[in-house]
């Protein structure tokens, strides 16, 4: 069992999906830009991946600046609400397997849970 929170326009996400398929794993693909995870699921994924909310966010996205999400006073809950409303802010790809959750931006990170 495996799930990838996937953006097909992202090279890192495509590479992770291909790495999984190369190992004979056909994951459930969640197109998270179309089906945004809610705050609770986001918090669970991020926590299980061992990341902070800020580490799981794409701070180079224009909406990040527009919403002033770089404000250090913002709580994790406020940041999660922003990601739930604007899923483009979520770094990718998150991959879930029976062995754990990783932000699988490198082949090595993904291999840890395959």
**Which residues are known to be catalytic?**
10
Count CB-CB contacts under 10 A for residue 71.
9
Instruction: Kindly state the tokens that stand for 52.
Output: 């902070």
Contact assessment for residue 78 and residue 93, using Cβ atoms and an 8 Å cutoff: no
DSSP H helices in the chain: 11-22, 39-48, 62-66, 76-85, 107-111
* Residue owning tokens 């945004």: 36
């Amino acid at each position: 069992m495996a799930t990838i929170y996937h953006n097909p326009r992202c090279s890192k996400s495509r590479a992770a999906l291909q790495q999984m398929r190369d190992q004979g794993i056909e994951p459930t693909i969640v197109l998270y830009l179309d089906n945004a995870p809610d705050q609770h699921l986001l918090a669970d994924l991020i926590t299980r991946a061992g990341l902070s909310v800020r580490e799981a966010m794409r701070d180079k996205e224009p909406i990040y600046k527009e919403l002033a999400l770089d404000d250090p006073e913002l709580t994790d809950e406020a940041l999660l609400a922003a990601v739930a409303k604007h899923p483009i802010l979520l770094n990718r790809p998150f991959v879930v397997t029976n062995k754990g959750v990783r932000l699988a931006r490198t082949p090595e990170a993904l291999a840890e849970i395959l």
